[in-house]
Amino acid sequence: MLTLSAETEALVKARAAVAGKTPDALVREAIERYASTSDVAGKPEVRAVDMERVKEISRRNTSCPLLDRRSAKEILDEAWTDLS
């Protein structure tokens, strides 16, 4: 159990009434919001690398230059022409 100053308790009760929540719910939400935006929340969950997905992305990206059959010069010339 926490001991709060009378001023803090009055503030929590007033804000909770305006929000239509209990003081307990309001304080809990405020603490959770603070924790999620600061270092208090701890380190994020580390997920395992899905190597099949990595390989699929690599295959897809490797084929990208083959999708445009123009030479690099033609691509650059067109890009610079559009700017003028």
Same domain, 34 and 59: no
- Tell me how many domains the chain contains: 2
Report if residue 14 sits inside a domain: yes
**Any residues with CB less than 8 A from the CB of 15 and at least 6 apart, and which?**
26
What does the pLDDT average to over 3-28?
94
Report if residue 16 sits inside a domain: yes
Range of the domain at 77: 51-83
Polymer length of the chain: 84
Burial 46-66 (b: 16+ CB within 10 A, else e): eeeeeeeeeeeeeeeeeeeee
Q: What is the pLDDT of residue 21?
A: 94
Report if residue 27 sits inside a domain: yes
Same domain, 32 and 57: no
Residue with tokens 């990206």: 61
Whether residue 48 contacts residue 33, with contact meaning beta carbons closer than 8 Å, is answered with no
Report if residue 58 sits inside a domain: yes
20-68 confidence digits (pLDDT tens): 999 999 999 998 888 888 776 566 677 888 999 999 988 888 877 677 8
Q: What is the pLDDT of residue 40?
A: 64
Report if residue 78 sits inside a domain: yes
